[in-house]
Amino acid sequence: MTFVRFGLEPLVKLVRQLFSAAGPWEKSSEFYILREVYRPLEFLFSVAAFTTLVENFLPQLIALPKGLVQGFVRSTLSLTFVIAAARVVFSIKARMTRETIWQLELKGDLTKQRRVEAVDKLTSVLTLLVSAVFGLQAIGLDVNSVLAIGGVGGLAVGLAGREILENLFTGLIILSSSPFEVGDEVLFTPASGGPVEGIVLDVGWYRTTIRSFEREIYNIPNSVFSRNVVLNITRKSKEWRFYERIGLRVKDVSKVGAVVADMRKIIRQDPRIIQKLHRRVFLDKIAREQIDIYISCYVDSVNRDAFMAVKQDLLLAFVDCVERNGGKLARNRLQLEAVTGIEEMRGAKVVVAPVGLSAGERL
């Protein structure tokens, strides 16, 4: 242990100087790796010293076969080496992950930060699996035999836990590929229910938590995402589509041309409209109740709130355009004809005007 603390560092420094490594020693990767190696090596040497004493003195104190004691010592040393190596891997991995996440956080790159966290979890699982395999071999168990026995019992467990495994594997794919992450706004429609839209609160190995805009919490098994198309609204580009139909009164059909021309002028002159994409304003439909003007274009907005503000401005501008040309928006009307008794002789018509109309506006 004295060599570990006082002899290993000068040796590593010498090797580093032979390869002409630049930079101060205290900020080098070798320095940090060495700090993570000290305790596992001390633990390994302590166990080695203890097992050496056991191997030499235990057979003399207790009537035990020397071969049995030697087998126990070899298994203990092998298992200790596996544990120490796993500890070193976990320590170095944790330090590298913290450093990488800190650098990405300074850059504001949250997407790569989540991916690094996912890779860290995946590496932890792989390290545990490899350590478990070497640990079983260290204590003298045949891994192939263990897997064969586990395969027979695992058939029944697999049938019952198929959904659990599917959730775990899908969670692993989500964490590694990062189709969405914490804070993203997503929209999807499960086969067993209505559409789910909200903000991702947590992405776990087994399930994902989403909070809807009604402040409801959805705990969704990860396997659902493998069978449905998920729309990540947060990661869409800045191109938001403005798509509306504005209805005018039928008697204003003569004014549609001027209204459409003014609307096109508004779209051409607004700097928030993406001019390289389509900009469509057309008379689309003439019906008995109203005339529909079709409007479609794309708005350059950083998020939904900015788009809604632009949409509000455009709608108000289009309404003002209609009124400026002497037109008015169409109003839906429900008309009931009652032909009974005296009213049949008079041919009276009972008209029900829309809610909110004044007496002078009722037909």
Tens digits of residue pLDDT in 80-99: 888 888 888 888 888 888 88
User: How many structural domains comprise the chain?
Assistant: 4
Nearest residue to 25 (alpha-carbon basis) of 9, 41, 2: 9
What pLDDT, on a 0 to 100 scale, did the predictor assign at position 342?
45
* Side-chain half-sphere CA neighbours of 104 within 13 A: 15
Report how far residue 94's alpha carbon sits from residue 282's, in angstroms, rounded to the nearest whole number.
Answer: 60
Q: What is the CATH number of the domain that holds 216?
A: 2.30.30.520
One domain, residues 18 and 136: yes
Enumerate the H helices of 161-255 as residue ranges. 162-177
Choice between 361 and 17, residue whose per-residue pLDDT is larger: 17
Query: For residue 282, what is the enclosing H or E element?
Result: strand 280-286
- Is residue 309 within 8 A of residue 242, CB to CB? The reply is no
Residue 7 shares a structural domain with residue 136? yes
- Count of CB atoms situated within 10 Å of the CB of 104: 18
312 shares its domain with 345 = no
Task: Tell me 266's DSSP state.
Answer: H
User: Mean pLDDT, the chain, as a whole number?
Assistant: 78
Residue 16's domain spans which residues?
2-140
Instruction: Name the residue with higher pLDDT: 100 or 8.
Output: 100
Asked whether residue 185 falls in the same domain as residue 283, the answer is no
CATH assignment at residue 260: 3.30.70.100
Residues 122, 23 share a domain: yes
Per the rule left: phi > 0, alpha: psi between -120 and 50, beta: everything else, 349 is beta
Tell me if residue 221 falls in helix, strand or coil. strand
- What band does 59 get if pLDDT is binned at 50, 70 and 90? low
Q: What is the rounded CA–CA span in Å between residue 80 and residue 44?
A: 6
Number of residues assigned to the chain: 363
Query: Based on the number of CB atoms within 10 Å of its own CB, is 181 exposed (0-12), middle (13-18) or buried (19 or more)?
Result: buried
Better pLDDT: 66 or 45: 45
pLDDT band for position 265 (cuts 50, 70, 90): very high
* Res. 161: pLDDT tops 50: yes
**Whether residues 132 and 251 fall in one domain:** no
Is residue 269's pLDDT more than 90?
Answer: yes
Whether residues 168 and 39 share a domain: the answer is no
Greater model confidence, 159 or 117:
117
Angle between helices 110-138 and 143-160 (to 10 degrees): 130
Residue 198 banded pLDDT, cuts 50, 70, 90: very high
147 in any annotated domain: no
- State the Cα torsion 348-352-356-361 to the nearest 10°: -30
Percentage of the chain modeled with pLDDT above 90: 26
Confidence of residue 355 (pLDDT cuts 50, 70, 90): very low
Environment class of residue 31 by beta-carbon count within 10 Å: exposed (0-12), middle (13-18) or buried (19+)? Answer: middle
